[in-house]
Amino acid sequence: MSWLVYDHPSPSPVQLLISVPKRRFKKASSRNRIKRLLREVYRKNKPVLYEFLNSKDTRIIISIAYVGEKELSLQEVERIFLSIVEKFKAAYTAA
């Protein structure tokens, strides 16, 4: 995950980009499934992220690139996503 802070007035504090490389997942159905999982995990957990960003009055663009070699379950993706969000919060607060 990478992010960019921007000062554009927007109704939403986050814009999201999800990327799954064709090089690692040849079948479009596999890539689409991974993207659906990532979007669902983001949808379920965005209140945590929104609450943090609204308290800082910040707007960001998030880019998530799936770099794994195999497809993961929804629970595994959610666990990883939440750990990444915690690292983001720690890094943003420290900066």
Global pTM reads 0.86
Domain of residue 37, CATH code? 3.30.230
For position 74, what pLDDT does the model report?
A: 94
| 32 three-state secondary structure | helix
Strand partners, 46: none
For position 18, what pLDDT does the model report?
A: 95
User: What is the residue range of 42's domain?
Assistant: 2-94
Task: Specify the length of the chain in residues.
Answer: 95
Q: Which positions ≥6 away from 10 have C-beta within 8 Å?
A: 59
Question: What sign for the dihedral angle of Cα 62, 2, 63, 34?
Answer: negative
H runs (alpha helix) in the chain:
28-56, 74-94
**pLDDT at 8 > cutoff 80:** no
How many domains does the chain fold into?
A: 1
Category of 15 on φ-ψ map: left (φ > 0), alpha (ψ -120 to 50) or beta: beta
For position 92, what pLDDT does the model report?
A: 83
| pLDDT tens, residue by residue, 33-74 | 999 999 999 999 999 999 998 888 888 999 999 988 899 999
For position 29, what pLDDT does the model report?
A: 94
DSSP secondary structure string, 81-93? HHHHHHHHHHHHH
